[in-house]
Chains A and B, each alone.
Chain A
Amino acid sequence: MQQAMTRSILEVKGLNVTRNGTPVIENAAFTINRGDYVGIVGPNGGGKTTLLSAILGFLPHTAGSICLFGTELSKFSSWQKIAYISQQATNFEDQFPLTVRELVSLGCIKKGKLGRRFTPEDWAIVDENLDFMGLSDVANRRISQLSGGQKQRMFVAKALTHKPELILLDEPIVGVDSNAQEKFYKKLSDLNVERQITILIVTHDLTSVFCRMSKIMCINKTVEFAEITPNLDANMLLKRAYGKHFHFVYHQHNCEGVFVAEH
């Protein structure tokens, strides 16, 4: 029991969420454990972003419960443990006067220590995370000059600077080419393994989910949640969300090929 308490980072039970009176999420129930790398998939309008918004408390839920780090959402206050990168994050104003390094440094702002000056240690963490996300070369560029993939990595670097235990990432639908996207997932894998950060990512890239991630959440009003094992019947799961004509071709060796190319 004690172990279950510490391992579970996010526990959702019987969750209903409505938007403008229309039910968007119905009776969702799942438990995310520390160290999970969860791919959230499902058709557009299926409720992926809505679910994240409910978890973060942006949207009220009509039934059920959400527990973050063992605390009921309404009483939860340790938000510094959570980083959220929204779908709109990369859609900032072009004229916004920030360099990449400046933006990432905003992750150093700490609750309870507002108004403090950043120390050399803070800047060292900023530079380390820029380096980790492969952004050292563009650190002094303006944020608007980056490519879509670089912008994505920049927001992860900012999130990392905050030293989160859980990252929720709502992936932008457009603007990143598949090569950059694959590198991005690789980086997230590294974070997940090396820094033990729990990751929930909304994505459209099913192959990456099955290759890289430990669990899959399939959302279309209802939420299917499964551990990714060689025995998992992927199509059964996906058909429930995408419809019975959906067919996903996926072979374990595809992934091996991907991994080999990188080492």
Chain B
Amino acid sequence: MFNPFGYYFFQNAIAGGIIVAIVCGLVGLFLILKKEAMLGDGLSHTAFGGIALGLLLGVNPIVTALGVSILAVFAISYMRRKKIAPTDSAVAVMLALGFSTGLILISFAGGFNVDLFNYLFGSILTISTTDLLLVLGLSVFVLLFISFFRKELLSMVFCEEDARIMGIPTNKLTILFDLLIAVTIVLSIKVIGTILVVALLVIPGLCALKLDLSFKKTLLATILFSTTSTTIGIILSAIFNIVTAGFIVFILVTAFLLTLTYKKLE
């Protein structure tokens, strides 16, 4: 059988996959607790517009996707704050706008075929060193933020009014967290692609929540679920030469079903 472990591309893929899995799982857990999981899905689809723009302009699509996601998350946040539209509707508008912009740009450029496919469904096995470094840098930023402000974030998602009275600047923290979501979405595009990002965001946290643990242990369990599923997914996809994202999501869903069964039997 093909043994992928001796190859550089594979080591890069595993390293990138694990760090992205950690970031996605942690940010996703807070998103679930904030009941905004679909914000992740909406943003990743919006980011598609940014990717098309990057490909058209010949700029690194991760950079343009980041710009578009940040704009989109602030637009959603603005609509929510000014009561122009509730979060889910605002997400729907931005999702449609980003994706349709992407479609127009693609048609305009006459299609990008392989490249585009890689961004839609991820291409962790072909991640370049530049992209890996970009992903690492963004991940470190997100992880540092969460490790410093997890208690404040937790306080805010538990009860925003209460957090505000306690002196937590909830408006600023919300903006920073929105920014974090945009960054997380973009860095996971390389691993799992824009279409399935939401799975890596939501399922690990959901599995961990089913175990009824303390907050500390829930964080650890989330990381364990996301990194294990991602690693196994990458290995299987290298061996069988099948799209990585498909395997990762399949394993995540299997883990979720196993967790549910475990809770039933317990």
On A, residues with C-beta under 8 Å from B are 56, 58, 79-80, 82-84, 86, 89, 92-93, 95-99, 102-103, 105-107, 109-112, 114-115, 118, 140, 142, 162
Q: Are B167 and A110 in contact (CB under 8 A)?
A: yes
A82 partner residues in chain B, CB cutoff 8 A: 165
Q: Are B215 and A98 in contact (CB under 8 A)?
A: yes
Q: Does B155 touch A at the CB level, under 8 Å?
A: yes
Instruction: Using A102-B214, A102-B216 as known contacts, say yes or no to A96 and B158 having CB atoms under 8 A apart.
Output: yes
How far is B168's CA from A98's CA once the two chains are assembled, in angstroms?
19
CB distance from A143 to the nearest CB of B (A): 9
Q: Are B149 and A106 in contact (CB under 8 A)?
A: no
CB distance from A74 to the nearest CB of B (A): 15
Partner of B33, one of A96, A106, A142: A96
How far is B197's CA from A158's CA once the two chains are assembled, in angstroms?
37
Q: Are B214 and A107 in contact (CB under 8 A)?
A: no
The B contact surface, by secondary structure, is helix
How far is B148's CA from A109's CA once the two chains are assembled, in angstroms?
12
Q: Are A102 and B165 in contact (CB under 8 A)?
A: no
Q: Are A109 and B209 in contact (CB under 8 A)?
A: no
CB distance from A172 to the nearest CB of B (A): 14
Partner of B214, one of A79, A99, A110: A99
Q: Does B69 touch A at the CB level, under 8 Å?
A: no
- Nearest to B219 among chain A residues (CB) is A97
Partner of A97, one of B149, B151, B214: B214
The A contact surface, by secondary structure, is loop
How far is B173's CA from A109's CA once the two chains are assembled, in angstroms?
14
Partner of B218, one of A97, A111, A114: A97
Q: Are A109 and B166 in contact (CB under 8 A)?
A: yes
Q: Are B168 and A114 in contact (CB under 8 A)?
A: yes
B155 partner residues in chain A, CB cutoff 8 A: 106, 109
Could you list 4 further interchain pairs (A-B, Cβ under 8 angstroms) beyond the known A84-B165, A92-B159, A97-B209?
A: A86-B161, A92-B158, A98-B154, A109-B166
Q: Which chain B residues numbered 114 to 159 have a C-beta less than 8 Å away from chain A?
A: 148-149, 151-152, 154-155, 158-159
Q: Does B88 touch A at the CB level, under 8 Å?
A: no
Interface string of B181-219 (1 = CB under 8 A from A): 000000000000000000000000000111011111010
Q: Are B215 and A97 in contact (CB under 8 A)?
A: yes
Partner of A84, one of B162, B215, B218: B162
How far is B164's CA from A80's CA once the two chains are assembled, in angstroms?
10
B159 partner residues in chain A, CB cutoff 8 A: 86, 89, 92
Q: Are A79 and B166 in contact (CB under 8 A)?
A: yes
Q: Are A106 and B154 in contact (CB under 8 A)?
A: yes
- Nearest to B210 among chain A residues (CB) is A95
How far is B33's CA from A103's CA once the two chains are assembled, in angstroms?
15
Q: Are A109 and B167 in contact (CB under 8 A)?
A: yes
Instruction: Using A86-B161, A92-B158 as known contacts, say yes or no to A112 and B167 having CB atoms under 8 A apart.
Output: yes
B209 partner residues in chain A, CB cutoff 8 A: 95, 97
On B, residues with C-beta under 8 Å from A are 33, 148-149, 151-152, 154-155, 158-159, 161-162, 164-169, 208-210, 212-216, 218
Q: Are B215 and A109 in contact (CB under 8 A)?
A: no
Partner of A140, one of B148, B161, B214: B214
Q: Are A80 and B162 in contact (CB under 8 A)?
A: no
How far is B155's CA from A92's CA once the two chains are assembled, in angstroms?
12
Q: Are A106 and B167 in contact (CB under 8 A)?
A: no
Q: Name which of B148, B159, B164, B166 has the most chain A CB atoms within 10 A of its CB.
A: B166
Q: Are B167 and A111 in contact (CB under 8 A)?
A: yes
A56 partner residues in chain B, CB cutoff 8 A: 165
- Nearest to A97 among chain B residues (CB) is B218
- Nearest to A106 among chain B residues (CB) is B155
- Nearest to B147 among chain A residues (CB) is A115
A-B pairs with the 8 shortest C-beta distances?
A111-B167, A97-B218, A115-B148, A99-B214, A106-B155, A102-B215, A97-B215, A79-B165
CB distance from A24 to the nearest CB of B (A): 19
Instruction: Using A97-B208, A102-B215 as known contacts, say yes or no to A111 and B158 having CB atoms under 8 A apart.
Output: no
Q: Are B158 and A106 in contact (CB under 8 A)?
A: yes
Q: Are A107 and B158 in contact (CB under 8 A)?
A: no
Can you list 28 contacts pairing A with B, beta carbon distance less than 8 Å? A80-B167, A84-B161, A84-B162, A84-B165, A86-B159, A89-B159, A89-B162, A95-B212, A96-B33, A97-B208, A97-B213, A97-B218, A98-B214, A98-B215, A99-B215, A102-B214, A102-B215, A105-B151, A106-B154, A106-B155, A109-B167, A109-B168, A110-B167, A111-B168, A114-B149, A114-B168, A115-B148, A140-B214
Partner of A86, one of B162, B164, B167, B216: B162
How far is B30's CA from A97's CA once the two chains are assembled, in angstroms?
11
- Nearest to A112 among chain B residues (CB) is B167
CB distance from A98 to the nearest CB of B (A): 5
B149 partner residues in chain A, CB cutoff 8 A: 114-115
A114 partner residues in chain B, CB cutoff 8 A: 149, 152, 168-169
B152 partner residues in chain A, CB cutoff 8 A: 109, 114-115
